[in-house]
Structure 1
Amino acid sequence: MIRKIKENGDKIKNEVETIYKTKTKVNDVQMDDLKTTISDINTKLSFLNQLLKSDEATAMQSSERVITALKDRINELPKTKPDDNGQIKFVINENQLDSLQQCDIGYVSQGAADCLTLKGGESVTQGQTIVVKIIKTDECEINANQLKATWTQPTGEINVTQVQEDDNGDYVVIGKCTSTGACKLDVSANSEPIKQSPVIVKVEKEGLINTIDTNKQNADVVKYEDDCLLVSCWTNEILKYKQSGEYIGKVMLPQGVKVSTMFKMRSGNIAFSDDLKKCIKVCNMNGQVVKSIGQGVLKDPAGIYVDETSNIVYVADWGDYCVLMFDNCSSQMIRRIWSLGKEGSLMSGVFDVTLTSEGHLLVLEYTNSRLQLFDNEGRFIKVLVEAGNENGKVRNPGGVVIDEDDNIIIASKNKLQLFSSDGSFMKRIDKPEDKIKSPWGLSVISHHPRRLAVANCGNKTVKIFNY
């Protein structure tokens, strides 16, 4: 035991020396920076004193420049507290006497706060779940119950919450804020603030935040870049707008093309339904058509979804009362999906399709006013949302999308509704005064905050909502 303890003692001594040398090197660099800055300031102060003793006019003109330079230099002062100021701690191995073969006496570590970093600070909407991660270094030894997390709401209300461990073994802090403004999260380890604490989360209001007047009958809207929206309007033009509403140009397609619904691909190309040629086409942002799918097979294509993992294109065929699947590489049809849904009824007025995170197919029917769920082989599972005028039901729906939380958003006659992944009604996104009229295409354009754009065909606008 004496030999084992001595070996462990030597190991700990070496670890302390290594940590000490690293900290000393960091401190020496910071001290040199501080000495250089102080010397520079002293030089400017000395020069300023000389100026003030000289001719008054010359002193006034010159001293202003020196004072400005002096203030700028002071603002550049390094932190007086070193960045690497964590303590070196010895942690006793409480199980050291359990076995003669297990004789570790403990280990050396730095302060827990030094090996943890808070990562977050994104914007959210009112009531949206906030998830802030705590990043650990490999050598960090700390339990979640040693961490303290405190939320300060925009109203000033303070809430203490538990730090949780996710499935990957990482620590997270989860919270919500129902008031708009700045929400602050402080996290400490053994009463010491961890790195990047506190973080500030901006909480934005729910509801309509912008209306873009296009003066055209809008068919669809998709997000192209961070701040760029593409809007189709049953012509050979795809209009480009910023989310602020600023018009920034257009994509011109050949004559004889009529763009309705669209899907933005990872390559940057746009797949769209050609309402004249009755097929799916793919174009680049120069307006060049690079591929056609389903010509002569599709009767009246509407909504489309491209699964770029499996290279399958799903098309809601309004005229053929079904969903068709095509191979994106060969453009060959794979199968038709017919519904034997509720009470054995067939599809009618199939208008839009999308996939869930599990790869299941959602089919939206305009005529039957319902949303149906199928597996990835096209087998019917159930009706998720049924027809009706009240909240939680749909009437003549025109668009469906899935957000990053696996929630379902449906645009139906004069309203936008949010459903959970199992079809349970969560809330109505718009208000009657927002004037949603005959909405068609939908696009989730942000997750932080949760934000949605809708092609509001009935009054020639694109409306943007936080939800």
Structure 2
Amino acid sequence: MREVADCLQLKGMGNVTQGQTIVVKVIKTNECEIHANQLKATWTQPTGETNKTQVDEDDNGDFFVTGKCTNPGIYKLDVSANGEPIKQSPMVINVEKEGLVNTIKTRHQENIRDVFKCEDDCLLVSCSKNEILMYKQSGEYIGNLTLPQGVEVYRMYKMKNGNIVFSDWGNNSITICNMNGQLINSFGKEEMIPHGIHVDEASNIVYVGFTSSVLLYNIDSEQKIMSIGTWGNQEGQVRGVIDISLTNQRNVLVLDSCNNRLQLFDNEGRFIKVLVRAGDENGKVMKPRGVVVDQDDNIIILSEHKIQLFSSDGNFIKRIDKEDGIKDPWGISIISYHPRRVAVGNRGDKTIKIFSY
């Protein structure tokens, strides 16, 4: 019976956040006949307590085990086939406590405007200047990208090809540079100052938030494609688009700062609904500053004094920051999914704060 166990292997995440759903796959490394009822799985908690759990089978005939660890600490998952442990069993999973993970003091005490994750554990930080600062998530200052005089980097988006697309307050345009600080292109100069920015790399479209609308441009042709929203207070109208993001279905999330709300539009620009409304209490927003979407299609909204997690339909889930001194924050970026982490630029004390949620 050992042959069956030898053709199977556990594959999953080594680190998760408290309360995050864990999915561990049982991979077939060789051809073998195996059924779900031949597999047994057991969780061992940090206290030493054990409990058996079900092994499920998906539509492709692959096996997986799910779990949700509510307490921080080291968990173990043992999986056996016909009583024999399979490869990589037991799997050790570190469950990280929710809340503040690290505070990075910025080197020059900068006026932070945005934070974005880069490769190699690096964070890009903009400060309305002609440079982009770089820090490791551990807090170490790496260096900076220096851009030509007159450029002012506000919101930014790092593309997979290595280029950085940003709203340029110095030139009232959308500007693109590479990781050497060389300018590649500049376009979309409007009468208004660009604010929020998001790139849909699948379609090569950049979404740019202005005072009275969101404008879409094709990055290659530089042509304006369409406009979303009009000036006003009514639903479907906007007054100051401070940030933009896309759902996993490619609908458009528009953070309407002066109206203190998050609105949802489809990718044709049609208004769908208000997801989050104005208010100081949890589940509402006041002076919103940033919005991002995680892999589970949850929405994270950064406001003047708090960070909140919402479901894709706008239902409030929880506060992320707890009592960690968020004040006048600008810029938010998801930096990890296992464990779930975000980085926030906190202008109140000129730091970058990293939270596990």
Q: Report the TM-score range of the alignment, normalised by the length of the smaller protein.
A: over 0.9
Residue of structure 2 aligned with 1:302, choices 195, 199, 204: 195
Paired position in structure 2 for 1:460: 350
Does residue 275 in structure 1 map to residue 181 in structure 2? no
What aligned pairs does 1:265-344 form with structure 2 within 5 A after superposition? 265-295=159-189, 297=190, 299-318=192-211, 321-338=212-229, 343-344=234-235
Greater helix content: 1
CA RMSD of the aligned region, Å? 1.5
Q: Which residue of 1 aligns with 2:337?
A: 447
Helix, strand or coil for the counterpart of 2:237? coil
Query: Which residue of 113, 120, 125 maps to 1:226?
Result: 120
Matches within 5 A, 1:206-225: 206-214=98-106, 215-225=109-119
Cα deviation for residue 164 of structure 1 reads 1.1
Offset of residue 435 of structure 1: 1.1
Query: Is 1:394 paired with 2:288?
Result: no
Deviation of the 1:121 alpha carbon: 4.2
Aligned match for 1:351, one of 242, 245, 248: 242
Residue number among 148, 151, 174 corresponding to 1:254 in the alignment: 148
- Distance (Å, rounded) in 1 between the aligned partners of 2:191 and 2:160: 25
Cα gap change, 1:118 to 1:275, in 2 (>3 Å): same
- Aligned-pair identity in percent equals 64
- Listed one character per residue, the Cα deviations across residues 126-152 of structure 1 (whole Å, up to 9, x for unaligned) are 111111110014622111122111000
Change (3 A) 1:307 1:344: closer
1:423 to 314, 331, 354: 314
Asked whether the equivalents of residues 341 and 382 of structure 1 are also in contact (C-alpha less than 8 Å), the reply is no
Matching residue of 1:405: 296
> What are the Cα deviations for residues 201-235 of structure 1, in whole angstroms up to 9, with x where unaligned?
11111100111111111000111113111100111
TM-score by length of 1: 0.74
Question: Is the contact made by 1:341 and 1:383 (CA closer than 8 Å) also made in structure 2?
Answer: no
Instruction: Name the CA distance, whole Å, in 1 between partners of 2:312 and 2:232.
Output: 18
- Distance in 2, matches of 1:341 and 1:153, equals 54
CA shift, 1:156, in A, is: 1.4
For 2:193, give the aligned amino acid: D
Structure 1 contact 269–282 (Cα < 8 Å) conserved: yes
**For the pair shown, which has the larger CA radius of gyration, 1 or 2?**
1
Deviation of residue 346 (structure 1)?
A: 2.1
Report SS of the residue matched to 2:348.
Answer: helix
Match runs of 1:19-418 below 5 Å? 87=2, 111-137=3-29, 139-214=31-106, 215-295=109-189, 297=190, 299-318=192-211, 321-338=212-229, 343-344=234-235, 346-418=237-309
**What's the TM-score, normalizing by structure 2?**
0.96
| Residues 344 and 177 of structure 1: CA distance in aligned 2, closer, same or farther (over 3 Å) | closer
Structure 2 residue ranges without an equivalent (≥5): none
Alpha-carbon offset, residue 458 of structure 1: 2.4
Instruction: Give secondary structure in 2 for the equivalent of 1:368.
Output: coil
Alignment check: 8 A CA contact 2:10 2:86 kept: yes
Q: Flag structure 1 segments of 5+ consecutive residues without an equivalent.
A: 1-85, 88-110
Please tell me whether the aligned partners of residues 116 and 137 of structure 1 are also in contact (alpha carbons under 8 angstroms). yes
Between 1 and 2, higher relative CO (CA 8 Å, sep ≥ 6) is seen in 2
